[in-house]
Amino acid sequence: MIRLTIDYDLCTGNGRCYELFPQLFGDDERGYGVNLTEEIGDELLDMANRTVVACPERAISVRPPAPGD
């Protein structure tokens, strides 16, 4: 499984993640993106990588799980 994370120190709440990729993100009461799931399978990897590029703050990252996860 691949980890999909949002760095909330970088996120400014523009909403691009959940507007473009509602399969992966929702929004909270303040309009900030939230992961619908932190772990994704290979079938969503291309979409997840596109979220990284689409985020103007570069607050989204895709990475392999840490050892022991």
pLDDT digits (tens, 9 = 90+) for 8-64: 999 999 999 999 999 999 999 999 999 998 889 889 999 999 999 999 999 999 998
pLDDT of 38 reads: 83
pTM of the model: 0.85
Residue 69 lies in a domain: no
According to DSSP, residue 35 is labeled: E
- Distance from C-alpha of 15 to C-alpha of 13, rounded to nearest angstrom: 5
Residue 26 lies in a domain: yes
**Cβ contacts of 34 within 8 Å, gap of 6 or more:** 6, 18, 25, 26, 27, 28
Count of domains for the chain: 1
Residue 33 lies in a domain: yes
pLDDT of 69 reads: 62
> What CATH number is associated with residue 18?
3.30.70.20
pLDDT of 1 reads: 82
Residue 68 lies in a domain: no
Residue 55 lies in a domain: yes
Report which secondary-structure segment, H or E, holds 40: strand 39-40
pLDDT of 65 reads: 74
